[in-house]
Amino acid sequence: MLKVQEIRELIKLIDESSITEFKYETENAEVHLKKATGEVQAAPVVQPSVAQRTEQQASVPTVEKSESANQTEKATDESSEKQEETATHTDYDHEITSPMVGTFYAAPSPEEGPYVNTGDRVEASSIVCIVEAMKLFNEIEAEVNGEIVEILVEDGELVEYGQPLFRIKKA
Contact 138, 102 (CB under 8 A): yes
Contact 96, 168 (CB under 8 A): yes
Indicate yes or no: pTM above 0.75.
no
Instruction: State CA 67 to chain mean position distance.
Output: 26
Which domains are assigned to the chain?
Answer: 1-58 (no CATH), 94-170 (2.40.50.100)
> Mind listing the pLDDT tens digit for each residue in 148-162?
999 999 999 999 999
Question: Which residues have C-beta within 8 Å of that of residue 25, sequence separation ≥ 6?
Answer: 31
> Which carries the bigger pLDDT value, residue 117 or residue 86?
117
Q: State the pairing for strand pair 29-36/45-46.
A: antiparallel
Give Dmax (Cα) for the chain.
79
> Mind listing the pLDDT tens digit for each residue in 63-94?
444 454 455 555 555 555 555 554 445 688 89
Summarize the confidence of residues 83-106 as an average pLDDT: 79
